[in-house]
């Protein structure tokens, strides 16, 4: 079964950018409107379609997850929209992590291969666990899907990965709220949320750089 599911998942992720490029409008605002209208036309199945789209986008990185968050808020409102967007985001994170673990990481036990330096870095990353994953998810310079695949190559445990990935949800909530408020013509009152996201992301990026610098110093000290 795994031999069938994984190639199918990879094929879907590979073809998704082509499909969206053929049918979706060009500007971010047009994409949000198009996604919202597409899901709304599905009636009761619209939320499930939104979750499926968010899952594929979170796993492929073909579009910013924020666009689906805004579309979810526009279509479903803040509460239901966040529930749908969060479910899709976590499912996409789990999908990409599973694909990376099964197909991309070396078959040998112990995670990454490539020499003593890589092995030492892998141990440091795994030791930080959910704390490092959390900073990566909060930092705006770490794209969601590539970060998921990169972490799948390390020894980070699945539980730490999922726990740290929850840190991506507050930012997603902000975008869902912007979509919901935009529907009621009060989007301007929520602009301060973007500033909060920027400050939070900057702080996480600085902490992440500090940890990486510490890793580099520790690894340099371990070299013969």
Structural domains of the chain, count: 1
pLDDT band at 2 (very low <50, low <70, confident <90, very high): very low
Which pLDDT score, from 0 to 100, does residue 5 have?
45
Which pLDDT score, from 0 to 100, does residue 96 have?
92
- What is the domain range of residue 18? 2-222
- 173-212: per-residue pLDDT in tens? 888 888 887 755 445 555 677 778 788 888 888 888 888 7
pLDDT band at 82 (very low <50, low <70, confident <90, very high): very high
pLDDT band at 121 (very low <50, low <70, confident <90, very high): low
Which pLDDT score, from 0 to 100, does residue 162 have?
95
The whole-number average pLDDT for the span 71-88 is: 89
Can you give the pTM of this predicted structure? 0.73
Classify each residue of 120-157 as buried b or exposed e, where b means 16 or more C-beta atoms within 10 Å of its C-beta.
Answer: ebbbbbeebbbebbbbbbbbeebebbebbbbbbbbbbe
């Amino acid at each position: 079964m795994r031999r069938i599911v994984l190639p199918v998942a990879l094929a879907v992720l590979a073809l998704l950018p082509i499909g969206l490029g053929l049918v979706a409008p060009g500007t971010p605002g047009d994409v949000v409107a198009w996604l919202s209208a597409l899901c709304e036309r599905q009636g009761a199945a619209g939320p499930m379609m939104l979750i499926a789209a968010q899952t594929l986008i979170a796993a492929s990185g073909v579009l910013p997850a924020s666009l689906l968050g805004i579309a979810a808020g526009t279509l479903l409102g803040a509460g239901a929209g966040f529930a749908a967007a969060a479910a899709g985001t976590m499912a996409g994170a789990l999908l990409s992590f599973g694909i990376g673990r099964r197909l991309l990481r070396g078959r040998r036990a112990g995670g990454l291969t490539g020499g003593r330096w890589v092995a030492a870095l892998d141990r440091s990353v795994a030791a930080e666990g959910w704390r490092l994953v959390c900073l990566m998810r909060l930092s705006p310079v770490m794209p969601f899907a590539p970060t998921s695949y990169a972490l799948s190559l390390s020894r980070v445990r699945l539980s730490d990965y999922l726990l740290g990935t929850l840190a991506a949800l507050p930012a997603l909530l902000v975008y869902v709220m912007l979509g919901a408020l935009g529907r009621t013509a009060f989007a301007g009152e929520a602009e301060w949320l973007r500033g909060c996201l920027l400050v939070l992301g900057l702080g996480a990026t600085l902490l992440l750089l500090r940890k990486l610098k510490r890793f580099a110093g520790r690894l340099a000290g371990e070299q013969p």
